[in-house]
Amino acid sequence: MLPFEILAQDNNARAGKLFTPHGAIQTPSFIPVGTLGAVKSLSSDDLHRIGIQAIIANTYHLHLQPGEELIEEMGGLHRFMNWERPLISDSGGFQIFSLGVAKKHGVGKIASIFPNKNNSVRLNSNKTQPLIKVEEDSVEFISYLDGSKHRFTPERVIEIEKRLGADIILVLDECTSPLHDYAYTMEAMNRTHRWALRALNQFHKSTSQGQALLGIVQGGAYRDLREQSAVFIRDQGFDGFAIGGSLGKSKEDMHRVLEWTVPLLSQDKPRHLLGIGEIEDIFEVVKRGIDLFDCVFPTKMAHTGTLLTRKAKRFRMHIINSCFKDDPYPIENNCNCYTCSHYSRAYLRHLFLNKEPFAITLAAIHNLCFLESLMHQIRDAIKKGQLSELTKHWLTST
Q: Which helix (H) or strand (E) holds 214?
A: strand 212-217
Output the CA–CA distances (angstroms, integers) from residue 110 to 64, 94, 297, 301, in the order listed: 20, 12, 9, 11
Q: Which domain holds residue 365?
A: 303-395
Do 195 and 340 reside in the same domain of the chain?
A: no
Last residue of a domain, one of 295, 317, 347: 295
With 0.75 as the threshold, say if the pTM is over it.
yes
Do 361 and 244 reside in the same domain of the chain?
A: no
Cβ contacts of residue 164 below 8 Å, gap of 6+?
A: 57, 59, 62, 68, 71, 72, 76, 77, 89
Q: Between these two residues, 238 and 180, which has the higher pLDDT value?
A: 238
Give the end-to-end CA distance of the chain in Å, rounded to a whole number.
42
Do 291 and 353 reside in the same domain of the chain?
A: no
Do 384 and 239 reside in the same domain of the chain?
A: no
The residue-averaged pLDDT of 196-214 equals: 91
pLDDT for 94: 78
Do 325 and 176 reside in the same domain of the chain?
A: no
Do 265 and 139 reside in the same domain of the chain?
A: yes
Cα(285)–Cα(151) distance, integer angstroms = 34
Do 25 and 169 reside in the same domain of the chain?
A: yes
pLDDT for 311: 86
- Yes or no: say if 348 and 382 are a contact pair by the CB < 8 Å rule: no
Last residue of a domain, one of 260, 295, 330: 295
Do 117 and 199 reside in the same domain of the chain?
A: yes
Number of H helices, E strands in the chain: 16, 16
Least Cα distance to 331 among 365, 355, 358, 303 occurs for 365
Q: Which residues are catalytic?
A: 90, 294
Q: What's the CATH number where 125 sits?
A: 3.20.20.105
User: Is 398's pLDDT higher than 80?
Assistant: no
Do 210 and 146 reside in the same domain of the chain?
A: yes
Burial of 207: CB neighbours in 10 Å, binned 0-12, 13-18, 19+: exposed
The residue-averaged pLDDT of 4-23 equals: 98
Average pLDDT value for the chain: 92
Cα(199)–Cα(234) distance, integer angstroms = 15
Do 332 and 224 reside in the same domain of the chain?
A: no
Do 156 and 128 reside in the same domain of the chain?
A: yes
Kindly report, residue by residue over 52-99, the tens digit of the pLDDT: 999 999 999 999 999 999 999 999 999 999 999 999 999 987 787 677
Which pLDDT band holds residue 107 (cuts at 50, 70, 90)?
low
Count how many domains the chain has.
2
The residue-averaged pLDDT of 169-187 equals: 93
Q: Between these two residues, 300 and 207, which has the higher pLDDT value?
A: 300
Kindly report, residue by residue over 261-315, the tens digit of the pLDDT: 999 999 999 999 999 999 999 999 999 999 999 999 999 999 999 999 998 999 9
Last residue of a domain, one of 239, 269, 295: 295
Kindly report, residue by residue over 219-259, the tens digit of the pLDDT: 999 999 999 999 999 999 999 999 999 899 899 999 999 99
The residue-averaged pLDDT of 40-59 equals: 97
SS3 of 388, please? helix
Do 96 and 210 reside in the same domain of the chain?
A: yes
The residue-averaged pLDDT of 371-381 equals: 98
